[in-house]
């Protein structure tokens, strides 16, 4: 419904305002630009997709491991959590040039930026789930003589999987933002780079087509992660 | 307390709890002097909020909001740690595990190899033979509580602490579960916290009414548990106990 309504509204604005195509191209022109430049857009999309997938994987693993370690040790939580919150107060936009300087113009700097963006939501969501196991269940485990490690493995982690799913769904939306920021700051390929290039040459239709490709990629990623998370979120199914 | 020799660890002990429980400056209950007979069911009743579950937690050695000022004496002088099993009002089944996996949870949490054969025999004995592969979401309330009982029995501890385990069940399932639990926990030292005078009179070798300033030992009928719920003595005892709890007896 939205997919049908949005282009109509878009076209309506153009008819009403008579805005020039280099400011706001029509949906039809964008579709044409997408088709004509399909090879170029696909090539840059693959680069961005690789950065996003790598960032998502590394960020998810780091976030998951950190959450488990923080949940195992109250002292680690007291020491590390304020640091994590502090890192979130630094805008990634401000860090991107430094990270590009440190990690180069290739894949690494984009992955690092994506990881920085998704690390906290994944850690925070999973940690929340790990520490919200009902006290009655933990009491029962204690009377059974449960070890800390087995309680984590057999009770806390399975209980927190739906929360991890929520964190990963957020990460799937944030990771492309990180990759594109990295490409804007310094890159020779990727959708962010293509958008800057198109913008500089007043090829607004190509810029919009790249943006569309990015939106589709994010949507597909969100759906895929959402489907994977749904498996985590239905533990009560017989 | 001394280190636990194996034969003494599995023998049901007499447990005596004496003292008061405070939360901050306020006394929740006490002073109390409660004895749980070896191999017997002791039922504790009392108004909501009087501290029945807290008393159970003190015996179980679990963390509480306040402080217990008193002593916990175990007849064989062996610590209760590792000798107590717990069954609560909520079945506490883990929804991602099957009935069988929930039953052997204790062994898995200790990092031991679970005795699957024994668990299957136990489940068959309590009527869950055909449901061992199901997850809790697919079970009725009664079946869930049977699984919780199987998990408690699988631990094979000499002391069982039951905190209103049957209160959420319908009347007929509750009566079935009471009989099953009495049969399966025979010979263990059992503390049953309950709101239900009928349940206490049916199952208790001893009945104790917990009050803010002490306890009252309530006389039980001469017959042995599990008592016939329709016997005149049982009904009379229930009625007297209920009247007492309501403050009209």
Model pLDDT, residue A119: 92
Question: Under an 8 A CB cutoff, do B62 and A235 touch?
Answer: no
In a domain, B19, yes or no: no
DSSP-derived secondary structure letter, A226: H
Shared-domain flag, residues B115 and B208: no
Residue of B nearest to A152 (CA): B109
- Assess whether B134 and B219 both reside in one domain: no
Looking at the fold, whether B119 and B129 belong to one and the same domain comes out as yes
In a domain, B184, yes or no: yes
Q: How far apart are CA A188 and CA B123, in angstroms?
A: 65
**Residue ranges covered by each domain of chain A:** 40-232
In this complex, do A236 and B60 lie within 8 Å of one another by their Cβ atoms? no
The fold of A40-232 is: MetI-like fold (1.10.3720)
Q: Given A141, A147, A236, which is nearest B137 (Cβ)?
A: A236
User: Could you say which of B156, B174, B206 is where a domain stops?
Assistant: B156
pLDDT at site A237 = 47
pLDDT at res. B176: 86
**Residue B169: its pLDDT value, please?**
82
Evaluate whether A172 touches A221 at the Cβ level (below 8 Å). yes
B194 contacts B164 by C-beta, under 8 angstroms: yes
* Among B122, B156, B190, residue at a domain's last position: B156
pLDDT band of residue A233 (cuts 50, 70, 90) is low
Same domain as B162, residue B231? yes
- Final residue in a domain of this structure, among B156, B172, B198: B156
| Structure confidence at residue A208 as a pLDDT band (50, 70, 90) | very high
Give the ipTM of the model, two decimals please.
0.84
Residue of A nearest to B155 (CA): A144
**Tens-level pLDDT at each residue, chain B (249 residues):** 444 455 656 788 999 999 999 988 888 888 999 999 999 999 999 988 889 999 999 999 998 888 999 999 999 888 888 899 999 888 999 999 999 999 999 999 999 999 999 999 989 988 899 999 999 999 998 899 989 999 998 998 999 999 999 888 888 888 888 998 898 899 999 999 999 999 999 999 999 999 888 899 999 999 999 899 899 999 999 999 999 988 866
Instruction: Examine the domain organization and report whether B172 and B238 are in the same domain.
Output: yes
Residues of A in contact with B109 (CB under 8 A): 141, 144-147, 150-151, 154-155
Question: In this predicted model, what pLDDT tens digit does every residue of A135-194 receive, in sequence order?
Answer: 999 999 999 999 999 999 999 999 999 999 999 999 999 999 999 999 998 888 999 999
Q: Residue B206's domain is classified under what CATH number?
A: 3.40.50.300
Same domain, residue pair B102 and B8? no
Residue A62 has pLDDT above 90, yes or no: yes
B39: left (phi over 0), alpha (psi -120 to 50) or beta: left
Specify whether B248 is located in the same domain as B163: yes
Same domain, B176 and B246: yes
Specify whether B181 is located in the same domain as B241.
yes
**Residue B104 structural domain:** 94-156
> What CA–CA distance (Å, rounded) separates A98 from A185?
10
Instruction: Note whether B121 and B235 are same-domain residues.
Output: no
Q: Are residues B107 and B138 in the same domain?
A: yes
Q: Rounded to whole angstroms, how far apart are CA atoms B237 and B200?
A: 10
Mean pLDDT of A11-25: 86
The per-residue DSSP string of A37-65 comes to THHHHHHHHHHHHHHHHHHHHHHHHHHHH
Q: A151 vs B138: CB contact, 8 Å cut-off? A: no
Whether B20 maps to a domain, the answer reads: no
If asked whether residues B224 and B104 sit together in one domain, one would say no
Residue B88 domain-assigned (yes or no): no
């Amino acid at each position: 419904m939205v997919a049908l309504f949005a282009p109509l509204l878009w076209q309506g604005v153009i008819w009403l305002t008579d805005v020039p195509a280099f400011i706001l191209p029509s949906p039809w022109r964008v579709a044409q630009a997408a088709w004509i430049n399909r090879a170029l857009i696909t090539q840059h999309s693959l680069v961005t997709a690789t950065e996003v997938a790598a960032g998502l994987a590394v960020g998810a693993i780091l976030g998951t491991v950190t959450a488990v370690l923080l949940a195992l040790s109250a002292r680690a939580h007291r020491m590390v959590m304020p640091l994590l919150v502090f890192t979130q107060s630094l805008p990634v936009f401000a860090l991107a040039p430094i990270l590009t300087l440190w990690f180069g113009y290739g894949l690494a700097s984009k992955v690092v930026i994506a990881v920085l963006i998704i690390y906290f939501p994944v850690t925070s969501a999973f940690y929340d789930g790990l520490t919200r196991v009902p006290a009655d269940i933990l009491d029962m485990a204690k009377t059974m003589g449960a070890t800390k490690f087995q309680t984590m493995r057999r009770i806390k982690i399975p209980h927190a999987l739906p929360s991890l799913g929520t964190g990963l769904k957020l990460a799937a939306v944030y990771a492309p933002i990180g990759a594109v920021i990295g490409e804007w700051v310094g890159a020779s390929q990727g959708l962010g780079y293509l958008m800057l290039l198109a913008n500089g040459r007043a090829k607004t239709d190509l810029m919009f087509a790249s943006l569309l490709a990015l939106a589709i990629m994010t949507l597909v990623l969100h759906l895929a992660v959402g489907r994977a998370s749904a498996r985590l979120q239905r533990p009560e199914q017989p | 307390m001394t280190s636990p020799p194996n034969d003494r660890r599995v023998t049901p002990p007499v447990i005596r709890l004496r003292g008061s429980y405070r939360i901050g400056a306020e006394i929740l209950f006490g002073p109390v002097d409660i004895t749980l007979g070896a191999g017997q069911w002791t039922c504790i009743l009392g108004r909501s909020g009087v501290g029945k579950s807290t008393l159970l937690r003190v015996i179980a050695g679990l963390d509480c909001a306040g402080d217990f000022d008193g002593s916990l004496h175990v007849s064989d002088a062996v610590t209760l740690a590792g000798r107590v099993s717990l069954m609560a009002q909520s079945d506490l089944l883990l929804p991602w595990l099957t009935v069988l996996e929930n039953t052997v949870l204790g062994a898995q949490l200790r990092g031991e190899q679970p005795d699957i054969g024994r668990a299957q025999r136990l489940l068959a004995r309590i009527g869950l033979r055909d449901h061992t592969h199901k997850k809790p979401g697919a079970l009725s309330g009664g079946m869930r509580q049977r699984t919780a009982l199987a998990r408690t029995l699988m631990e094979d501890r000499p002391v069982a602490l039951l905190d209103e385990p049957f209160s959420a069940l319908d009347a007929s399932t509750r009566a079935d579960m009471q009989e099953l639990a009495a049969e399966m926990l025979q010979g263990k030292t059992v503390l049953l916290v309950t709101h239900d005078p009928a349940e206490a009179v049916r199952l208790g070798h001893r009945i104790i009414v917990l009050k803010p300033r002490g306890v009252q030992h309530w006389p039980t009928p001469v017959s042995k548990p599990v008592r016939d719920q329709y016997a005149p003595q049982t009904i009379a005892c229930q009625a007297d106990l209920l009247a007492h709890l309501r403050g009209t007896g």
